[in-house]
Amino acid sequence: MSQTVLHTVLLIEDNEQNRYLATFLLEQRGHRVVPAVDGPSGIALAQSLRPDIILLDIQLPTMDGHAVARALRAIESLRKIPIIAVTSYALVGDRAKCLAAGCTGYIEKPIDPETFVTEIEAAARAAGEGDAA
């Protein structure tokens, strides 16, 4: 029996262990996860896939997450897709910097496996409600 997919999630994350954990948690709740290991491949996948949600690590090789978020927001067809920063950058100002770059949500690493998916779903709902306004 096939399970109904709730959301297609593009996960832009270079760390294999972080990708594995996030994918496992999201798939357990019925989401489909498509991974990208860096910014350029994440941007290309976002354009072809048109995911429901983008999870974006900020500390990426070659192109940091802030640059990726700005690039995604510059593409008309992707502007309304929620982008949630999932990052170890947790100093004062880091959340604001992520939001200014175009992210609609922010989750600090290390993630809490008990609340991670609920936080993602809530951020996606909040972003969707903002679009309806």
Could you report the per-residue pLDDT of 31-70, keeping only the tens digit for each?
999 999 999 999 999 999 999 999 999 999 999 999 999 9
Averaged pLDDT for residues 88-106: 92
Coil/strand/helix, residue 84: strand
**Fold entry, domain 8-132:** Rossmann fold (3.40.50)
1 pLDDT tier (thresholds 50, 70, 90): very low
The structure's pTM equals 0.92
Identify the pLDDT of residue 5.
Answer: 72
Share of the chain above pLDDT 70, in %: 93
The domain locations on the chain are 8-132
Q: Which residues contact 1 (CB under 8 A, 6 or more apart)?
A: none
